[in-house]
Amino acid sequence: MEILVRADSHHAAPEVFNLCRARGVDFIRGLATNAALRAHVIPLEASTRARATGPDKVRRFSEFHDAARSWCRVERIIARVEAGPQGVDTRFIVTSLTGGRGKWLYEQVYCRRGVAENHIKSWKTHLAADRTSCTRATANQMRLMLHAGAYWLMWGLRSLMPRRSPWRTAQFDTLRLRLLKIAARIVEMKTRLRVHLPTACTVQPVLAMVLTRTTRLVT
């Protein structure tokens, strides 16, 4: 099994690099900007700044091999230079991966760390998964399982929205407060459940469309 560790610059320490190398684990981590790293991209920063003549930002990439004094070997370093009306912003990452272009590694691999953090945020903050105040560990584990099920249902609900709908990218708390937390009357019949919504409900068309697609959630 291949393992890739993604982390920010706080974990870019030689001890971490040596441990990953010894265990055969790949890594891609942020690097704190310093004068030694900036010296490699001064021409790139200047040319990128010259290209950013409009309101849109210009992003360019470069890579080189370098090592800090505390490192035992040189590593592959990727620089991301972005210029816009606010000035030039330069970021660096270091990786053990030998393949892949720098642009792809930065945007599709390293920046995915932020996407994963947003998933955790949705689970903990929007669905209150951190409420494990029971005195028994088994009870807290049961709570986590229920919250995981709620996350799966909310994710499935959002994925059933039309691709160009704002509901497709809405946060879980927005879906819960504006789409689900509404008054309704449930009538249980022999072969179906009938949901009676108030006439003042402005999201009736959205709910009707989603309910016709909920069979996709059944596996």
- Look up residue 201 and give its amino acid: C
Query: Looking at the 3D structure of the chain, how many domains does it have?
Result: 2
51-88: pLDDT as tens digits: 988 888 999 999 999 998 899 899 999 999 999 988 99
48, 53, 57, 59: CA torsion to nearest 10: -20
* Residue where a domain terminates, one of 90, 110, 130: 110
pTM, rounded to two decimals: 0.64
Q: What is the pLDDT of residue 11?
A: 86
What domain range is 134 assigned to? 119-217
Same domain, 98 and 127: no
Buried b (16+ CB within 10 A) or exposed e, 175-203: bbeebeeeeeeeeeeeeeeeeeeeeeeee
Same domain, 165 and 197: yes
* Residue where a domain terminates, one of 110, 135, 151: 110
Per-residue pLDDT of the chain (219 residues; tens, 9 = 90+): 889 999 888 888 899 999 999 999 999 999 999 999 999 999 999 999 999 888 889 999 999 999 988 998 999 999 999 999 889 999 999 999 999 999 999 999 998 887 778 888 888 888 888 888 888 999 999 998 998 888 888 888 888 888 888 888 888 888 888 888 888 888 998 888 887 878 877 787 887 787 777 765 554
Residue 79's nearest CA partner among 47, 113, 42 is 42
Same domain, 104 and 144: no
Same domain, 160 and 101: no
Give long-range contacts, CB 8 A cutoff, 24+ apart: 117-124.
122/151, 122/154, 122/171, 122/172, 123/147, 123/148, 123/151
